Structure formats: C-alpha cells, structure tokens
Amino acid sequence: MMKTSSKWPLIRLVPKQTHFEFVHFARLAASISILLVILSFVSFATGGFRKNPVETFNAAQGNFGQKTSAVFADAFNLGIDFKGGILVEAVAPKAIDIADLRSELHHLPIRDPQVQGFDKPNQVMVRYLADHEDMERTTKIVRDAISQKYPGTTFPPASFVGSKVSGELYQNGIMALVAAISFMLVFIWFRFELQMGVGSVAALLHDVILTLGFMSVTRLEFSLTSIAAILTIIGYSMNDTVVVYDRLRENMRKFKKMPMAQLIDLSTNETLSRTIITGMTTLLALVGLTVIGGTTIQSFTIAMIFGVIIGTYSSIYVAAPFSLLIPRNKIDKPEKIVDDRP
C-alpha cells in the first residue's frame, strides 16, 4: 500500500529559517508609507484624483465647515446603504434565479441595481439608486422586467431609503471603525505595553487609511459590506502584529545585550514563515471568492485582498520598526519570579 505524506507539499517551499535585514529598509519603507498615506488623503479631497478640490470649495455654499464637507463629499463611491435609494420586493410563483435576474436588471436604465434573496427561494429584494421623484417611473421599469421573466409575480409597496437614514448608517460605520481601533489599543496596552500599543495603532491606521485610499482611487462601491471588510482587515493586521510583538518581547528577555535593530530582524524572521502561510491561505480563499463570488461581494473581497497584503507589510515594516523609537527599558521588564520553595 502506498504511503502518502500527511503534509501539504507546497509547505516545503516556505523556508524554515530566514535572515532578512528588515530594519535596513525601514527608513525607505517608512518614506513610502508616508507618501501613500498623503496620496490617500489627496484622493479623499479630489474624488479619486477626478476633480479640483479648490474649485469645489469655491463653488460650495455655506460656511467653512460646509464647504470642506463638500470637498470630501465624493471621497468614496457610496452605495445605496449610504446614499439612499429605492427598495422593491418581489414574490414569484416559483424559485427565482438570482444571478440570472441580476444580469437582466443590469441592462435596465436604472443605477446600480442590487438583487438579494431573502426568506424563501421565490422572494427577492431589488435595490437601486434613484431620487424620490423618479420612484414611480423606475419602480415600474423594474417590476415590468421581473414580471416578464416570472409571470404572476406579486409586489408589495416599494419603499424609499432617504438620505437621513443613509447618513446615520455612514456615521455609525465610521464610529465602528474608530471604536475597533480604540479597543485594539487598550488590548495591546494590557497585553504588552502602552508604547507597543501606540505602534500597533500606527500600523492599524496605516492599513485603514491605505485601504480607504485604494477604494477611493479605484471607486469600488463603499457600503456596509466595505465597513465589514475594513473591520476584518483591522483584526487580521492586529493578529499579525501581536505575533511579531510577542516574539520580540521574548527575544528581548532572552538576548538582553543584543541591539534593538537585530532583535527586530530576529523576531520578524522567526515569525516570517507563519506570516507567509497565513497570508497565502487567506489570499487563496479571497481570490476564489472574487472570481466566482459574483459582483455582489466583489467590493468586499477586493478590499480584503488589498488589506491582507498591506496588513502583512505593516506588521513587518510599520509596527515592528516602531519599537526603534521606544527606549528599551520601557519594554524590557523582567518577569516576576515566584519562590515556590517550602
């Protein structure tokens, strides 16, 4: 009987030990990160480098705060969740092929149609961008298209999601991101030290800002799904950072006379194989979802792919080198020795 290996053969391609000098490139990496963060903020103010912020500011009405808000109003390609729109429900006499219906509705003269199933296979919700004045006309277009494909379909009254509700969702989403980063800071503060917590939050802010900048430039739809993607990226990035920091703290107690730069290189190299394996398996799943998952979750998966790459980079070149700015005696605290002699 043939004996098979229990290990995944591609794991053998990942080196067990590496000796990269990460700190040697820390200044260059920091310069690139700062430049990308600045470009992200520029993208927020220019609508993804598509408009002149000075002209927008001068053309806006109101006080300084209102004019500034007008400049950043087009920072993202907001979806229905944050811009409002029309919600049409349909109940067909038989099961509805959501993918087929979604493809059909994308050819209609309506903006950003989204089809989602709920409760039973013969029930769907169709959401699309439209003003309240166009509600009757666009609703008729959608209902006629569905009725033609599924005769006998019934439609409950359509509803309009106003800008006030959408604005509250947008504000709550931003507050969720701020709360997540704050809780991460507190966690690292108690788990390690406040100085390391500041380094981890710097890495998190780096990841969030660059991911938002990526979505601003590419004009990916920004919706509640995007908020979920960014929250997931925060958790992924923090997981990588904690692993590196934990090994760094162990090595600082083990090699008390080793320079900090060498300790960072040693700790990062010791956790590099784990970082590569975790990142590659995550990316494989995300690429598969992007290819076969359809347009509904593409904004989530594409943002996640970018976030995983940036999160891996930041744990190596943002969070860990940040320790170079911290006096060693602030972190290198000896553990308490318990005398268990009788």
Q: What ranges in 192-337 are assigned the alpha helix state H? A: 194-218, 224-254, 260-270, 272-292, 298-314, 328-331
User: Encoding tokens for residue 158?
Assistant: 């359509």
For residue 109, the 8-state DSSP code is: S
CA distance 240 to 251: 17
Q: Minimal CA–CA distance to 285: which of 293, 274, 275, 295?
A: 293
Assess whether pLDDT exceeds 70 at residue 318: yes
- pLDDT of res. 244: 86
Single-letter code of the amino acid located at 52: N
* Burial 17-52, CB ≥16 within 10 A → b, else e: eeeeebbeebeebeeebeeeeeebeebbbbbbeeee
For the chain, what are the domain ranges?
85-161, 164-331
pLDDT category of residue 310 using cuts at 50, 70 and 90: very high
The verdict on domain 164-331 having CATH code 3.10.310.10 is no
CA nearest to 50, candidates 302, 233, 218 = 218
Q: Tell me how crowded residue 123 is: count the other CB atoms within 10 A of its CB.
A: 16
Give the separation between CA 235 and CA 301, rounded to whole angstroms: 15
Tens of pLDDT along 106-144?
888 888 788 888 778 888 988 888 777 788 888 899 999
Q: Is 317 helix (H, G, I), strand (E, B) or coil?
A: helix
The model's pLDDT over 164-223, given as tens digits with 9 standing for 90+, comes to 556 677 777 778 888 887 887 777 777 776 667 777 888 888 999 999 999 999 988 888
Q: What share of the chain is helix, strand, coil (3-state, %, to 5)?
A: 65, 10, 25
What is the model's pLDDT at position 14?
60
Burial (CB count within 10 angstroms: exposed 0-12, middle 13-18, buried 19+), residue 60: middle
**Which H or E run includes 113?**
strand 111-118
The pLDDT of residue 18 is 77
Predicted local distance difference test score (pLDDT) of residue 327 = 60
The mean of the pLDDT values for the chain is 82
pLDDT at residue 279, rounded to an integer: 87
Q: Token pair for residue 42?
A: 């520029």
Closest by CA position to 277, among listed 10, 61, 65, 95? 10
d(CA 57, CA 66): 9
Q: Taking the model in full, what pTM does it have?
A: 0.78
CATH number (3.30.70.3400, 3.40.630.30, 3.40.50.850, 3.90.226.30) of 85-161 reads 3.30.70.3400
Collapsing DSSP to helix, strand or coil, 84 comes out as: coil
Q: Which residue has the tokens 């000796």?
A: 19
